[in-house]
Structure 1
C-alpha cells in the first residue's frame, strides 16, 4: 500500500480526483492501484510546553501548571518533544494516520511546497517512527493539470531534508526565545504583590514596536505650512492649470523641495501676478496602458477589506476561510502570492459561470468578459507555495452567504473578472511652460479605453485618485498662450497615517522598508517580511488579547502597557533584523552549509546572556 499524506483536506481531494477513489473511509480514501490518501489539518503536532522539561518537584499553581522560577531558567531541551494538539479531531486523525502507517509499504509527503509543508508531514513520520520509503509530491496549484504533473514527477523525500531542518530550526529557536525571555523578563519586573506579564516573541514584539513607533510619530508630528503657485491658462476654448516648479538655487525650500518661506511665496507672486502670457517649453502626449490588477494575496485582501469595510485582519481571514471551507466558492486563502498558474487559465469560462450564478449582480460583467484574454497574472514562474485567491468553479446561493461573505466574495470575484477585460488605455500629457523667469508644469490624463476598469465602475474607488485627470490642449513648443490668473496655494505637511489592521499586515509583509542594512533588507524582502500569511492576523489578535494593542475605530494603537513592555525587552528582540539574522542562518541550514545544532547554539548563547541580565536585576531588587 502507498500512503499519501496531504497537508490539508483540499489537497487530498485534488489528489484523489486524479488517482480515482474506490472507497471512502473515515479520515482517508482508498484509491485505485493500492493507493490510500489521508490528510492533516495543518500542523497536528506542537512543541511540548516548558513544564515537560523542568524538574518534577516544582510546585504547581491553581491551574495545575508549574510555577515560574528564575532558577529554572534558561530551559534548553536536550531532546525535543512534540505532542498532539489538544483537539479531539486532531487526535482522532493522528490515530487514523498511525494505523495507516503501520500498513504502508511507502509514503508520499504531500505537504505544501515550502519549509513548513515539508516539516508538517516529516514530523508525523518521525513521531510514529516510520522508517520505510518516502517520496515527495511537489505542486503549487490544485488544478488537474498541476496535480497530474506532480503525480508523474515524485522525488525522493530525502532531497528536501534541508527544508525540514530549516523549518524545525525556526520553530525551536522561536520556542527558546519566547518561552525563556517571557519568563525571565516577567519574573524580573514583577513584585510579590503583582505579576506583570512581559510576553516576548520574534514576530509579535517587532510588530508591537512598529505600531508604537507610528503612534509616536503621529503624536509628535507638527504640521509645517508650505506654498506653491498655480496658474490658470487658456488655449482657444480650453482652460487648464499648471503649478510652479522651483529652479536650482531657489531659496526657502525644505529637504523635499517644498517652498516653506511665506516671504518667498509672496515675492514670487508679486513678480508673476501681472504676467500676461506663458511660452511653451515642452509638450508631450504619450499613449499608455495599465495592466489588470493581480489576484489577491491574503495581505492584499486584508488591506482592501480594512480600507473599504473596516474589517479586522482576523475577520477577513475567517471570512475567506469560510468561503473556502464551508461554501467552497473561493480558493485557499492563506497565500502570499498574487499570481495564477497558467494551467488554470482554461478554467476561466467555468469560473465566470460560477460567479454569475453566485453573485447575480455581476452576471452582466461575466457576459462581457473575454475568457481568451490572458493577463500577466497568469505566470507559473511567479507561483509560490500557493496561488492568488480566486473564485472556484463552484457556485453558492447568494442569500445563504453572510453580509461579510458577500462583501469578500465580491472583492475576489471582481478582481478575477478584471483579468478578462483589456488593459486600461489612456493618453498621458505633460506641458512645461515659462512664465516670466519661472517654470510651471501641467499634467493631464484622458482615458481612451476603460478596459478592465469597467469591472469596478462605482464600486468604491478601486484605483487611487489621479493626481490630474484634466484634458490638456495640443500645443507646440514655442507657442505663446494667455495667462488668466496666478494664485498662491497654501498647504500643510500631513502626519503619517495611524495603522489599521490592514495596513499593519502590509507593513509586516514589507518590513524591509524600515531596515537600512542592504543584506538584512534583501533577506526580509525575499522572505516576505515577518510572520506569514497564515499567522499575521493571529499575531495581531494575540497582541490585542494581551492588552498590548487596542483598536479605536479602524485604527490600531499600542496601549500604555504595550509601550512599557517595549522599554523592557532587549533591543534586538524588538527589531525585525532578528528575523533577517534568523533567515540568513536558516538558508545555510537548508543548504547544508550550517548544522541545525550550530544555529540553535547561537540562539542559546543570546538567550543565556539575556536571562543572566534578568537574574542580576532580580537579585538587585531583592537586595534592596
Structure 2
C-alpha cells in the first residue's frame, strides 16, 4: 500500500499535521512514517519571471522604455522560476510528488486563495497525475486536523479557487510590470540622495488605495471652515434640573449660521417659562458586536492598542499557529450552523483567569443561535478561540492583548443585549423648541464582559452619525422625573459659536474600511458583511498594501494619520488630470469590480480567459496613452520620495533648524557565526549618519539597546538619536550577505530581539539561504543568524 503525501504551507503547519497523525520520522525537508510523508513550502517557492524573459533584448534594449511595452504573455505562456533560496525544498517536494511510493496527495496549505495558489504552482510544475484532495480546516488543533482529514474535498471543488489565484497573480504581474516600467520611463528620474532610480510603482490595488488617501487630502485642503451657532438652555423643575438644545422643527439637522438669529432666540427665551410638549420613553436593546473578522479585529486593535494593520496580521497568524485562535485571514463575522454543537467546547477552552466567572455565566445562558452569530459564511468563519486551552502566560505581551480581545468578543455573543431606558423630551419656550435626550442603563447584558474603561474609550461602542457628521448631542443626560405638559422654569439660555470641521485623514483602520468598501467607509457592521467581495484587495493583502505605499515613498504616517507625500499627490493628479485612459488605475469601484470578477472566476461564473482579456485590453490602452503623452510633452519627472519617514506612534525626535541631524559614528567590523555558517558584516570605519527630517520630525524605530534613547533612520544607517549625549549605537545599511535591512526589520529587531524571516541571503559560495537576524551583542550592534528549525 502506497503512502499519502501532505504538502503544508510552512514547517510549523507541517509539525501540527505530524503531531495529529503521529508522524515522528524527521528527515531533511520532510517527515515520514509508514503511512504519511509530510513536506512543506516556505510560502511561494516559485515566482513569475520578469518581463525581460519574454523580450528580445537585442532588439528592444535593456533600458526601461515604452518601446519595450506592453509585455502580455498568453495565459499558458506565463513562466515561473524557483525563487532564490527555495531550490532545495522545491526539489524535495517534486521528488515526493513523482515518487512511486506516493499513492495520493493532499494539499494542506492555508485554506484560502493564496494558499491554494502556492500549492498549485508546485503541483502544476510536477505534472503529477496522482489522486489529489484538499484539506480545508479553520484551526490547527489536533481535533480539527483529524476531522478535516475525514472530510477531504476533491480537487475539482477548489479548481475555481486555483484559477482565481492564477488570475490574481497574472493580473498583478501585467499591471505592475508593464505600468511600473511605463510610468517610470516617462515620469521617473534618478534619486541622487538614495543613489538609485526614483521608481514610479503602479499596482492594481496599490494605486487606487493611494488615490483614496490623496483625494482625502485634497478635500482637507479645499475645506473652508464655516461658523455655526448652537443655542442651549438649562431648565428647572421641582424635581431637579435638566439641559436642552434648540433645534428646527421643520428640518431637524438644520444649523444656525447667523449669530444674530442665535442671539434673537436667546433674547426671546431668556427667563421665560417653558412647557414640556413631548415626552417619549422606551426601552431599547443594544446587541453584542459581531464576532471579529480580520478587518474589524484590526480596526479594534488599532484603536485600543495602537497596532498597525501589518502588526495585527502578524500577531493573529502567530496565535493561529499556536492553536490559540481559528484561521485569521477571514472576511466573515459569522459562524456556520455546523459549529453550534461544538461551541461549548470552544467556551470551555477559555475557562481560566481572567475569564472563569464570565465563562461559567455564559455556559448557563445557552449556545448563541441568532442570525448575528450563526449565519451564511464565506470561505472561513469568524475568528474565535479554538477548542484547545492556551497557556496565556506563554504568549508574548502583544499576543496576550490580541487574544484577550478575541476571547472577550467571543464571550460577548453568549450574553443577552444590553438594555437601556431611553427618554426624549421636547421643551418649548415662547414657541422655540429645545430637545433633551437621556439614556439609563437598565441591564449591562454583554457589556459586563468589558470593563467600564473599555466602553468609555469606545472600543465596542457604535459611532452614531447624522448627515455625515458626528452627533454632538449629549444622549446620556441624567434626567429628573418629568411628565408631558409639565411647566418648567428657564434658568439660563446661551449660544455657543462653533465651526465645521474638515474631513479627517485616514488612520490605518479607516483606510481598511474604505478599502473593504471600495472607497466607501461602511460603519454598520451588518451592512458591511452584506457587501463583501467588491473591495480593494483582500483581508490578507490590505496591510501589506499600506506598508508598500509607505516603503515606496507615496505616503507617510503622522501619529496615526496617513498623509500623501508630494510624490504620491503628483502621481494621482497626473493620472486624474492628464491621463483619462489610466483613470481606471485610481478608481476604487473599478478595482473593486475586478476583485469581484475574481470571485466569479472562483465560483466558475467567469472564465480566467475572459478575466485576463479585460486586464490586457486595459493595459494596452494605458500604454498607448503613455506613448501619446511622451510624443506631445516628453518626459516629466515626478517629485522624489521624502528622504525621511514621518513619525508614527513612537517618540518624536526634533531636528535642527534646517531639518537635519548629522552624527559622526565610528563602526567596528564584526564577524557573526551560527551553525557553522559565517558571514562578514562589513562596517564603515568612519562616516556620517545624516537624517533629513520632514516637517522637523523623524520616525522613532524603537528603543536604543545601548542607552535607552530612540533609534532613528539615517541615510547610511540606523542610529541612536542621543548621539550628542555620547551614544554611539549604529546599525549601518551596509549589505549583510547581499541584504540591506529595512526600517520594519529594524523595528522588529529592536522590539523582539529578532527580525522576521529574511529570504535571499547569499553565502560566500553564492548559495541562497533564509534566516532571522538576532542580537549577538545588542549594545555593540553585533548580529548573528538564527535559522528556522523544524
TM value normalised by structure 2: 0.68
Equivalent pairs counted in the alignment come to 597
**2:501 is equivalent to residue 494 of structure 1:** yes
Taking the TM superposition and a 5 Å limit, the aligned residue runs for 1:197-212 are: 197-212=199-214
| CA positional deviation for 1:530 | 0.9
Specify the alignment match of 1:63 in structure 2. none
CA distance in 1, matches of 2:635, 2:262: 65
Taking the TM superposition and a 5 Å limit, the aligned residue runs for 1:158-557 are: 158-190=156-188, 195-248=197-250, 256-286=253-283, 288-325=284-321, 329-340=324-335, 341-342=339-340, 344-353=342-351, 356=353, 362=354, 369-373=361-365, 374-375=367-368, 378-379=373-374, 381-382=376-377, 384-388=379-383, 390=385, 393-396=388-391, 398=393, 402-460=396-454, 461=457, 462-464=459-461, 467-513=474-520, 525-527=531-533, 529-557=535-563
Does the aligned pair in 1 maintain the 2:275–2:485 contact within 8 Å?
A: no
| CA positional deviation for 1:80 | 0.6
Change (3 A) 1:621 1:478: closer
CA distance in 1, matches of 2:288, 2:12: 29
| CA positional deviation for 1:559 | 0.3
SS of residue matched to 1:239 = strand
Does the aligned pair in 1 maintain the 2:556–2:564 contact within 8 Å?
A: yes
Among candidates 615, 621, 638, match of residue 603 of structure 1: 615
Alignment root-mean-square deviation, CA: 3.5
Change (3 A) 1:347 1:337: same
> For each residue in 1:171-194, what CA deviation from the matched residue of structure 2 results, as whole angstroms up to 9, or x when unmatched?
211211111011111112246998
CA distance in 1, matches of 2:594, 2:416: 44
CA distance in 2, matches of 1:190, 1:4: 47
Does the aligned pair in 2 maintain the 1:295–1:390 contact within 8 Å?
A: no
Does the aligned pair in 1 maintain the 2:534–2:593 contact within 8 Å?
A: no
Between stretches 23-32 and 423-432, larger displacement belongs to 23-32
Change (3 A) 1:149 1:452: same
CA distance in 2, matches of 1:599, 1:228: 55
CA distance in 2, matches of 1:337, 1:126: 30
Taking the TM superposition and a 5 Å limit, the aligned residue runs for 1:11-50 are: 19=21, 21=23, 23=25, 25=27, 27-30=29-32, 34-50=35-51
Specify the alignment match of 1:518 in structure 2. none
| CA positional deviation for 1:220 | 2.8
| CA positional deviation for 1:380 | 5.8
| CA positional deviation for 1:100 | 2.1
| CA positional deviation for 1:338 | 3.0
| CA positional deviation for 1:329 | 4.0
CA distance in 2, matches of 1:77, 1:432: 70
| CA positional deviation for 1:148 | 5.4
CA distance in 1, matches of 2:161, 2:118: 11
Change (3 A) 1:87 1:392: farther
Does the aligned pair in 2 maintain the 1:523–1:583 contact within 8 Å?
A: no
CA distance in 1, matches of 2:414, 2:233: 42
Does the aligned pair in 2 maintain the 1:329–1:395 contact within 8 Å?
A: yes
| CA positional deviation for 1:314 | 2.2
Change (3 A) 1:329 1:110: closer
| CA positional deviation for 1:587 | 4.5
CA distance in 1, matches of 2:635, 2:232: 70
Change (3 A) 1:365 1:107: same
Taking the TM superposition and a 5 Å limit, the aligned residue runs for 1:138-157 are: 138-142=136-140, 147=145, 150-157=148-155
CA distance in 1, matches of 2:542, 2:227: 38
| CA positional deviation for 1:550 | 0.9
CA distance in 2, matches of 1:617, 1:550: 29
> For each residue in 1:434-470, what CA deviation from the matched residue of structure 2 results, as whole angstroms up to 9, or x when unmatched?
3332333221111122233233324442344894222
TM value normalised by structure 1: 0.84
| CA positional deviation for 1:526 | 2.3
SS of residue matched to 1:105 = strand
Among candidates 561, 565, 571, match of residue 567 of structure 2: 561
| CA positional deviation for 1:608 | 1.6
| CA positional deviation for 1:258 | 1.8
> For each residue in 1:305-345, what CA deviation from the matched residue of structure 2 results, as whole angstroms up to 9, or x when unmatched?
333343332233333344444x6544443333333443552
CA distance in 1, matches of 2:534, 2:364: 32
Specify the alignment match of 1:359 in structure 2. none
CA distance in 1, matches of 2:386, 2:24: 29
> For each residue in 1:237-264, what CA deviation from the matched residue of structure 2 results, as whole angstroms up to 9, or x when unmatched?
232222222022x7xx9xx522212222
Between stretches 575-584 and 122-131, larger displacement belongs to 575-584
CA distance in 1, matches of 2:126, 2:423: 68
Change (3 A) 1:378 1:479: same
CA distance in 1, matches of 2:36, 2:361: 41
Change (3 A) 1:397 1:608: closer
CA distance in 2, matches of 1:238, 1:321: 55
| CA positional deviation for 1:124 | 2.2
Change (3 A) 1:337 1:174: same
Does the aligned pair in 2 maintain the 1:170–1:582 contact within 8 Å?
A: no
CA distance in 2, matches of 1:237, 1:13: 70
Specify the alignment match of 2:81 in structure 1. 83
**2:60 is equivalent to residue 54 of structure 1:** no
Change (3 A) 1:425 1:38: farther
SS of residue matched to 2:291 = coil
Does the aligned pair in 1 maintain the 2:325–2:383 contact within 8 Å?
A: no
| CA positional deviation for 1:274 | 3.5
Greater relative contact order, per chain length (Cα 8 Å cut-off, separation 6+):
1
Does the aligned pair in 2 maintain the 1:3–1:108 contact within 8 Å?
A: yes
Change (3 A) 1:76 1:427: same
Does the aligned pair in 2 maintain the 1:289–1:423 contact within 8 Å?
A: yes
**2:570 is equivalent to residue 574 of structure 1:** no
> For each residue in 1:567-603, what CA deviation from the matched residue of structure 2 results, as whole angstroms up to 9, or x when unmatched?
3342110111222332354355345454322322222
| CA positional deviation for 1:267 | 2.3
CA distance in 1, matches of 2:411, 2:37: 38
Change (3 A) 1:45 1:295: farther
Structure 1 gaps, min length 5: 61-65, 357-361, 516-520
| CA positional deviation for 1:558 | 0.4
Specify the alignment match of 2:64 in structure 1. 68
Change (3 A) 1:525 1:93: farther
| CA positional deviation for 1:210 | 1.1
Change (3 A) 1:31 1:524: farther
| CA positional deviation for 1:126 | 0.6
